[in-house]
Amino acid sequence: MTPASEPTKIPATLIPGDGIGLVIMEATLRVLNALGAPFEWDVQTAGKKGVQECGDPLPLAALDSIRRTGLALKGPLETPVGGGYRSSNVRLREEFHLYANVRPAITLMPGGRYENIDLVTVRENLEGLYVGFEHYIPIEGDPHAVAIGSGVNTRAGSRRIAEFAFDYAVKHGRKKVTIVHKANILKALGGVFLETAREVGKAYEGRIKTEDRIVDACAMQLVLNPWQFDVIVTTNLFGDILSDEIAGLVGGLGMAPGGNIGENAAIFEAVHGSAPDIAGKGVANPLALILAAAMMLAHVGRHDLAELLRRAIDRTLNHDCVRTRDLGGSASTKDFGEALIRNIS
Ligand code: NAD
């Protein structure tokens, strides 16, 4: 192919991430290369690796890169538990106003505990209890005697995420949106979200059915009868928890991709974290990140490549029966990636 006939490259930021990030990103990049994906990568670091290499969990160079490209594929970033620096994931979402976190869960391997799951969680990504308004009150020499945390839900933020969820439902031929909340107890925080999302739902009457559920009941019903759900829209913390539960319905965290979407930028990633328990062993399932890459391809309009990739995944898992350990197989991360590449034609 001459340079003149080469398709236009799309600049995109690449953050391999921590723990299993490196190995799953390597497999994902090899798959994207085999597909002929149009991305021109600008490789950056963040998270624990950012601290090690640049003394910052979110180096300016990474932020500048995403500001320039408006598009990123990101591996998992480690966050210290109970102290230390604030999550780079949360900061990235805030920095680029990535208000919607879209997490589709689809059964890719028949014969599991649940068949034919096809549901999407739309998680509010900037508000709620993730705003980080937390402090301690020391009493009698105990610096952590009392811990206080506040959440923030705004009318505008609730409307924006509800409209995103209903628009998503219309665009993707979905039938129903379930608003998931805890407005019975968190009367202000949950109340404003529920009230606003219901109001938004009215504008879609006749096109999309609206219902609502209290989060605890929803968590149980997801186990008993997940097929009743179609699109779930919920606040930040509940979306985080429910999407891991929902990942469990389709084979686990190794199967769950996500997209963080804003007006001017989008960052695609796996739902899972850096999996320190299996890091360095070469056994991580790269599929969640590969599926996130498929979402990224669809996001830039390359539905053809996204579809080709999904078909190759189906053949690899279900015809060749090449699966990583978390899916009951014995393939390494690398073996799975290579088997997938053989099915890309
Ligand atoms: P985790 O998602 O990393 O791991 C939970 C469990 O799932 C582990 O047993 C792990 O081995 C397994 N698992 C996860 N991904 C897998 C894969 N691809 N293949 C096979 N098994 C997989 O959650 P955690 O251990 O609670 O968190 C570890 C770190 O990751 C923390 O620092 C956390 O803050 C961070 N984290 C980052 C993100 C992100 O970058 N978006 C998301 C969640 C957690």
Residue 298: both structure tokens together: 């669809």
The confidence band for 111, taking pLDDT boundaries of 50, 70 and 90, is confident
- The tens digit of pLDDT for each residue in 152-210 reads 999 999 999 999 999 999 999 999 999 999 999 999 999 999 999 999 999 999 999 99
Active site (annotated) includes residue 334 = no
Tell how far the Cα of 42 is from the centroid of ligand 1, in angstroms. 24
Tell how far the Cα of 76 is from the centroid of ligand 1, in angstroms. 7
Closest atom, ligand 1, to C-alpha of 74 = 40
Average model confidence (pLDDT) across the chain:
95
Are 140 and 120 within 8 A, CB to CB? no
Residue 177: both structure tokens together: 């949106």
Q: How confident is the model at residue 1, as a pLDDT?
A: 46
- The tens digit of pLDDT for each residue in 39-78 reads 999 999 999 999 999 999 999 999 999 999 999 999 999 9
DSSP at 333: H
Active site (annotated) includes residue 182 = yes
- The tens digit of pLDDT for each residue in 9-21 reads 999 999 999 999 9
Q: Which of 251, 306, 253, 316 is nearest to 20 (CA)?
A: 253
Which letter, b or e, does each residue of 323-342 get, where b requires 16 or more Cβ atoms within 10 Å of its Cβ?
Answer: bbbbbeeebbbebbbbbbbe
Residue 148: both structure tokens together: 């206080």
pLDDT at residue 318 tops 90: yes
Helix (H) or strand (E) holding 151: strand 142-152
Provide mean pLDDT across the span 125-137. Answer: 93
Alpha-carbon gap, residue 233 to 291, rounded angstroms: 21
pLDDT at residue 5 tops 70: no
CA-proximal residue: ligand 1, atom 25 (nearest):
275
Tell how far the Cα of 277 is from the centroid of ligand 1, in angstroms. 9
- The tens digit of pLDDT for each residue in 234-251 reads 999 999 999 999 999 999
The active-site residue, picked from 18, 74, 182, 326, is 182
Residues 6+ apart with CB under 8 A from 123: 100, 101, 102, 103, 234, 235, 236, 238, 239, 240, 243
Residue 180: both structure tokens together: 């998931």
Q: Which of 82, 120, 84 is nearest to 247 (CA)?
A: 120
Closest atom, ligand 1, to C-alpha of 76 = 40
The confidence band for 3, taking pLDDT boundaries of 50, 70 and 90, is low
In a 3-state reduction of DSSP, which class is residue 167?
helix
